[in-house]
């Protein structure tokens, strides 16, 4: 169940970040700001639940940030046509590798 809450935190944060991009567009509707606020609030509440269930903060935040960066970059490419270069892909891979090392290190 902890991993489900972490997944919810990640998806809420990514949705809020994408809504923030929409809210920043000229002539954007104010409703996007509500999505931003609710999304970030949900993300932090769910992350708090995850930490309360005993997942180490370094592991939880590492996974949250790595997956969030990857999903946001991919979704921004699809939704907004933003660049996603090979170098950026390598950076995302390195972030994910770093989180894996943190996870492996926390197991000892």
| Residue ranges covered by each domain of the chain | 2-106
In order along its 108 residues, the chain shows pLDDT tens digits of 999 999 999 999 999 999 999 999 998 898 999 999 999 999 999 999 999 999 989 889 989 988 999 999 999 999 999 999 999 999 989 988 888 888 788 775
CA distance 47 to 52: 9
Q: What is the pTM assigned to this prediction?
A: 0.88
What is the model's pLDDT at position 108?
Answer: 57
Among residues 24, 2, 3, which one has the least CA distance to residue 67?
A: 3
CA distance 49 to 34: 22
């Amino acid at each position: 169940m902890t991993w489900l809450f972490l997944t919810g935190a990640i998806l809420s944060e990514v949705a809020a970040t994408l809504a923030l991009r929409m809210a920043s567009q000229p002539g954007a509707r104010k409703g996007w700001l509500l999505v931003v606020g609710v999304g970030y609030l949900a993300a932090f509440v769910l992350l708090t639940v995850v930490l309360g269930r005993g997942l180490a903060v370094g592991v939880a935040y590492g996974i949250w940030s790595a997956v969030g960066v990857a999903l946001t970059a991919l979704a921004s490419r699809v939704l907004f046509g933003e660049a996603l270069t090979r170098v950026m892909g390598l950076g995302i891979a390195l972030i994910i590798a770093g989180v894996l090392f943190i996870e492996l290190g926390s197991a000892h």
